[in-house]
């Protein structure tokens, strides 16, 4: 089963000479894909969305989950492929890795070059994704990203290049394997989520993402909550630090019952309480900030939103730790 959502991979040329993202239907897109000789795979395609991925919403994720779950629940469906714009592909992949069943492969892909552009990777990435989704090796691994002939675990996949064909990597972890024609090779299997998150409710609570940077104003923290956010994920400096001026408002928010989590803004490496100064991770952890390792802020935001929808505040830290393990 192939579900399409738009993005560069479904673009056509506009009158201005630019690319109109998401203009092509899934049926039109798949009609141009040629599978490797000898591949005995039957495809069914459904267009779910036709939009650029900067316009994907949490409501869209819930809708995509519903369609994905219905497809995977069908006995005759052996695997799922989702085409998506690359700007937010890693977030959608991680959301679905937390929520969809893992007994059948789920592969997400996109392209850096539109189908009409010279040297497009659109059809090759779709072809590789279909081959991967039909391979039993990917069962029990949750969602994966297939891009430029490489396979990445959804948790670690990141867009690392804005235009070249090697658009995705898994910094510090590397690819799980590759697709070479009809052959799927896994170097290792990422720790799979033993079971999908259940009981989460929709609409998901709003969780804001706030980057820490040199002399950043602490007023930003309260602005998030006062404008409607129910929690905040801080994209922290280095080992998980924030400006000293942030400490007091962070403590105030936590004392008021607002969950706050922090990750490292570095592409590689965990947060750690190895320093002792105002604004250090040790300072924040002692105040009750949730410290999260080996995950980007964009993905931590989604995990926290899912948990907030059905987890009591007192159990939030333990629940988040289970996901991060």
How many residues would you count in the chain?
325
What would you measure as the largest C-alpha separation in the chain, in angstroms? Answer: 64
Cα distances from 82 to residues 198, 227, 246, in angstroms, run 21, 33, 40
CA dihedral 267, 270, 276, 279 (to 10 degrees): 50
Give the DSSP per-residue string, 135-151.
Answer: -GGGTTS-EEEEETTEE
Is 194 annotated in some ligand binding site?
no
Q: Is 325 annotated as a binding residue?
A: no
The structure tokens listed for 107 are 């592969």
Sign of CA dihedral 181, 182, 188, 192: positive
Catalytic pick from 4, 5, 8, 120? 8
Is 53 marked as binding a ligand? Answer: yes
* Catalytic residue (choose from 5, 86, 99, 109): 86
Active site annotation includes 42: no
The secondary structure of 162-188, three-state, reads CCCCCCEECCCCCCCEEEECCEEEECC
Catalytic (active site) residue 120: no
Of 160, 163, 179, nearest to 171 by C-alpha is 160
**Sequence ranges of the binding site:** 53, 86-87
As annotated, the active-site residues are 8, 86
**Sequence ranges of the binding site for substrate:** 53, 86-87
């Amino acid at each position: 089963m192939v579900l399409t959502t738009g993005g560069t991979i479904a673009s056509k040329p506009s009158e201005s000479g630019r690319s109109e993202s998401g203009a092509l239907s899934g049926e039109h897109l798949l009609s141009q894909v040629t599978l490797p000789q000898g591949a005995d795979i039957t495809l069914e395609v459904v267009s779910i969305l036709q939009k650029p991925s900067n316009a994907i919403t949490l409501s869209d994720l819930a809708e995509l989950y519903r369609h994905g779950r219905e497809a995977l629940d069908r006995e005759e469906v052996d695997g799922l492929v989702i085409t998506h714009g690359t700007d937010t592909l890693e977030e959608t992949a991680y959301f679905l890795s937390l929520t969809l069943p893992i007994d059948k492969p789920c592969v997400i892909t996109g392209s850096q070059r539109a189908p009409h552009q010279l040297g497009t990777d659109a059809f090759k990435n779709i072809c590789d994704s279909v081959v991967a989704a039909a391979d039993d090796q990917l069962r029990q691994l949750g969602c994966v990203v297939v891009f430029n002939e490489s396979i990445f675990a959804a948790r670690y996949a990141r867009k690392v290049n804005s235009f070249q064909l090697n658009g995705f990597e898994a910094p510090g972890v590397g690819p799980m394997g590759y697709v070479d024609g009809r052959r799927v090779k896994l170097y290792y299997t990422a720790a799979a989520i033993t079971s999908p998150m259940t009981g989460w409710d929709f609409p998901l609570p709003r969780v804001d993402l706030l980057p820490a940077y040199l002399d950043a104003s602490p007023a930003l923290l309260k602005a998030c909550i006062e404008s409607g956010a129910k929690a905040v994920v801080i994209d922290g400096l280095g080992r998980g630090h924030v400006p000293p001026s942030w400490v007091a408002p962070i403590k105030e928010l936590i004392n008021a019952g607002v969950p706050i989590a922090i990750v490292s803004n570095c592409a590689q490496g965990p947060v750690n309480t190895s320093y002792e100064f105002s604004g250090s991770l040790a300072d924040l952890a002692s105040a009750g900030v949730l410290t999260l390792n080996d995950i980007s802020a964009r993905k931590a935001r989604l995990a926290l939103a899912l948990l907030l929808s059905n987890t009591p505040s007192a159990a939030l830290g333990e629940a988040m730790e289970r996901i991060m393990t």
